[in-house]
Amino acid sequence: MSRLTEAIKARGSNAGRAAIDPRILFALWLYAVLSGVGSGREVARLTREHDAYRWICGGVSVNYHALNDFRSGNEALMDEVLTANVAALAAAGAISLERVAQDGMRVRADAGAASFRGEAALEQHLAEAGELVREVKQRAKDEPGASSRRSQAARQRAAEEREERIRAALEQLPQVQAAKRRNGDKPQDARASTTDADARVMKMGDGGFRPAFNVQLATTCEDQVIVGVAVSNVGSDMAQMAPMVEQVIERSGSTPAQWLVDGGFPAHEQIDAVHERTQGKTQVLAPVPEPRAKTGKDAGNEGDEMPPPDKHQPKEGDSGPVAQWRARMAGEDIKEIYKQRAAKEWREAMNQFAILYEERFTAAHAGR
């Protein structure tokens, strides 16, 4: 806890409000997450109404602002704690990294569809926001009364935060434009959110499109323990496998023998990257897509249709690891192993974690 306590310092010669002991905040979040609670407001309510949370606080009053600020302000430490726990569990033999499954979930961002604007609209809003900031500052100079000082500061802070969010949205536009070029869309149609500049419109599980983030989770198949977490604003899972394999190896110090993913992950360059990183020690288990039947001129004779080629046979241009992956997925033993990815307990663990992350994103990006 020393890294948390060292950040608490006396400021100047005037006494300030006593800081909440970081050990209380850390223990509250630890107990809450273990109990399936991911909302700062809910934890704050429990500190008033639930005996276990009241015992942790020991008479100290804790509000949801302090809880959410602590959690969002210590991302690096929380990540290190996860790494240390995974490494300790693996070293003690409490979890098996023989077989790890990865999946991605779209988590709703705290941004409305109407908050997305194009470059021209963002430039206009930025100019208006800058003018509002100047007006608020000038009003504060013209009306220096002590009674209105707090409300003036609040108005100025709100105006400056709005200006900063619009500026962040403008800075994100080049990335959105580049993504549209790669997808063959018009870059001039790129838009960014003035509420959450990092959010992207993604296709959700129900088929609709909404502002969201792509949360990637890696879980041991045998123990259902989450050993890797990553968040991106790219809607596709195609480029997410190799970075997650790298993360799990770094966290645990062990190389998984088998890596289970669905059909949205196995881009050929990702399979090659995993093979190179693990020196062939990690086998990628993913369904091989069905090839299309050749018809017409492709079949050799007009109107003829040839049966599709065997999907498990190597194709022209396949690398060695890709050809091995195709052949591997033809084995009946591998098909039985792959069924573990669809285990009910594993899916429930993933869904619960996604719910916690959605609550966390909503609180962090809304300033709650």
Tally of residues, the chain: 368
Q: Which parts of 44-93 are beta strand (E)?
A: none
Pairing label, strands 209-220, 226-232: antiparallel
Which has more pLDDT, 272 or 339?
A: 272
Beta bridge partners of 226: 219
| 61-89 average pLDDT score | 84
Token pair, residue 343, equals 């285990």
Structural domains of the chain ordered from first start: 18-73 (no CATH), 94-110+210-287+329-365 (3.30.420), 113-198 (no CATH)
| pLDDT value of residue 300 | 55
In the numeric block, the tokens 């009364």 are attached to: 145
| Of 324, 246, 314, residue with least CA distance to 284 | 324
More confident residue, 200 or 78: 200
pLDDT surpassing 70 at residue 354 = no
Q: Which two tokens stand for residue 315?
A: 């194709």
pLDDT of residue 80: 82
Q: How confident is the model at residue 367 (pLDDT cuts 50, 70, 90)?
A: very low
Whether the CB-CB separation of 111 and 195 falls below 8 Å is answered with yes
Report, as an integer, the average pLDDT of 278-295: 84
**What is the arithmetic mean of pLDDT over 117-143?**
79
User: What pLDDT does 368 receive?
Assistant: 39
104-110 average pLDDT score = 85
> Does the pLDDT value for residue 366 go beyond 60?
no
pLDDT of residue 245: 95
The backbone region for 236, taken as left when phi is positive above 0, alpha when psi lies in -120 to 50, beta otherwise, is beta
Determine the distance from the C-alpha atom of residue 258 to the mean position of all C-alpha atoms in its chain, rounded to a whole number: 23
Tell me: pLDDT of 15 over 80: no
Closest CA to 125 of 182, 168, 78, 67: 168
Can you give the pLDDT at residue 164? Answer: 87
| pTM (2 d.p.) | 0.72
User: What residue type is assigned to position 326 of the chain?
Assistant: R
Closest CA relative to residue 250, chosen from 74, 95, 79, 72: 79
E strands in the chain? 99-108, 116-117, 192-193, 200-203, 209-220, 226-232, 258-260, 283-285, 294-295, 305-306
Q: What does the pLDDT look like over 287-312, one tens digit per residue?
A: 998 877 665 555 555 555 667 778 88
Report which residue type is found at 309.
P
**Looking at the predicted structure, is the pLDDT value of residue 253 above 90?**
no
Of the ranges 6-10, 44-48, 118-122, 305-309, the best mean pLDDT one: 44-48
CA angle 148, 151, 154 (to 5 degrees): 150
Question: For residue 13, what are its two tokens?
Answer: 């010669």
Considering 244-248, 249-253, 334-338, the range whose residues carry the highest mean pLDDT is 244-248
Question: Would you say 25 and 8 are in contact if contact means Cβ atoms under 8 Å apart?
Answer: no
Q: Which residue is associated with the tokens 């190799």?
A: 242
Task: Say how far apart CA 291 and CA 276 lie, in whole Å.
Answer: 27
pLDDT over threshold 90, residue 257: yes
Q: Judge contact between 240 and 232, C-beta under 8 A.
A: yes
Question: Is 87's pLDDT higher than 50?
Answer: yes
- What is the rounded distance in angstroms from the CA atom of residue 262 to the CA atom of residue 260? 7
Q: Give the span between the Cα atoms of 340 and 260, in whole angstroms.
A: 9
